[in-house]
Every structure is written in C-alpha cells, then in structure tokens.
Structure 1
C-alpha cells in the first residue's frame, strides 16, 4: 500500500472512530473533542491528494498531512491539560453552563441555555472502564504516532 494512501486511511479513521464511539457507546464530545477531529480530516484530504499527485508534490502533501495530524495532537495535549486541571480551557464553550447574573429572570436564563447541553471540556471521557486514559489522551498518543509516521514516510518518499 502506498505511503500516502496508508496515511489517508489512518487519518480518516480517527474522526470516524470518535463519531462511532458517540453512536455505539453514547460518549458525548466537548468542543475541544470536536476541534481535534478537523486536522485529521484535513490530513486525510492532503494525503489522498498525495496518492494521485506525483513526485515532490506527493512528498509535500504527505509531510503536510503529518503536520496537520500533529496539530490535532497539540489540541489533544491542551485538552489533556484541561482535563487534569493543569490550566483552564481557552474556549468559553468548554465551561459547564451557569445560571448567569442574579439580575436575570428565569425566562432570560432559560433562553440563554443551549439547545443541547454541552459537555464540559474538563470532564474526561474514558472509553475503557478502569483504564485511566481519556479519549483526549488516546488521541494525543495516536496523533504523535501517526504524525511522526507520516513525516518518516515523507522523508522516505523524498529519498526516492
């Protein structure tokens, strides 16, 4: 299997697995969870283009897909830090909803609530009961491995 195709398949597998975990196991994503998926989608498109484009373009696209995957890893690292309460989330939508100022009426508070409650980003989601590795931490490990693999593949392609 060509390097670019392997990276494309493995990159799109990550957001598909995350979406499947929502459907099959009822896991709810937070905003940072959703943000971690976009770099994989971008990486999959870049790597897929690398399948059909020749030479140096292929090398550049595989390398860029690796960088994109590492961006997801950086978001995952931020997310793990938020889950562990090492720092607060930079996104306002990550906080648990609050009632707002005391001067608001009940009707005002009800109108300000989201249609669906958001999962706070500092509440880890665990896929495997008893295994203290959150979905964000699993994504961090996957992104580091896959992003690194893509960069190694790009280097091998450049040597050909």
Structure 2
C-alpha cells in the first residue's frame, strides 16, 4: 500500500471510528453530548463525506484527502477548546457553561441545557472525551497530511 493510499484510508477510518465512539457512548453508554460536543462532530461528518469523495473522484483524491485531514484537525482544535472549558482553563462561549446572563437566574436555569459543557462526564487517565478527541484528531490529521505531502522515493 502506498503512502497516499494509507493516508486516504486513514482519512476515512479516523473520523468514522471517532464518530462510532461518540455515538456509541451516547446511545449505548448514556453519555449525552453538550453543545460543544456537537461542534466537534460536524468536522468529522464533513471529513467522512470528503474522504468518501476521495475514493470516488480519483483525479481530486489527493486534495480531497488533504481537505479531510484539515477537517479532522478542526475537530481536534475544537476539542482542545472544549477540554480547556471542562478543566476551567478558560470560559466557554455557550450558555451551557455559564448561568445568570439575563439577570433572571431562575429563567437562566430553566433555559439551560441538561448537559453542561464545563463538566467532564467521563475521563480515562484524567483526559476527558473532548481531550481524547483533540489528541486523536490532531495526531491523526497530522499523520494524514504528512503521508499526503511526503514525496515518493
């Protein structure tokens, strides 16, 4: 298998595996996503579609694979931001991470989503799901880019 064929396959498998894990943890594990969790999913959905196109449209396969890698890395960047909100390194941009914006605390509480963006629902080795998404997405996207951009010997 060539480097590019490996890159193209990874561009499809990485976001598919991450979305399978996210949807499995939601529908099987009962971990419901917050708003920022959903933000991380959109680039993966796009990466899957783009990677599928890279298999179907041979003349544009390399640029499409690079685009899929960038989408995967975009999800990773959002994951870094979300993990920072969960660990209290900075404030989030959504209502789910703060209460009391309107001045009517009861109305803010009633309007707030059930799942808060600034609380870790599950972690492994002290790393939240958002953190794991960031690690896998950034490393996977960088690997795909390296495989795509490295010239054959």
- Which structure 1 segments of 5+ residues have no match? none
Residue 24 of structure 1, aligned match among 25, 28, 32:
28
Are 2:65 and 1:62 equivalent residues in the alignment? Answer: yes
Are 2:105 and 1:118 equivalent residues in the alignment? Answer: no
- Preserved CA contact (<8 Å) 2:96 2:113: no
2:74 is aligned to 71
Q: Aligned runs of 1:8-157 on 2, under 5 Å? A: 8-55=12-59, 57-91=60-94, 93-95=95-97, 101=103, 109=107, 113-114=110-111, 117-128=113-124, 131-156=125-150
> Could you state the TM-score of these two structures normalised by the residue count of structure 1?
0.79
- Runs of at least 4 residues of structure 1 off by over 2 A? 93-102
- Preserved CA contact (<8 Å) 2:91 2:97: no
Alignment RMSD (CA, Å): 2.7
Within 2, Cα distance between the matches of 1:83 and 1:65? 27
Within 1, Cα distance between the matches of 2:130 and 2:101? 28
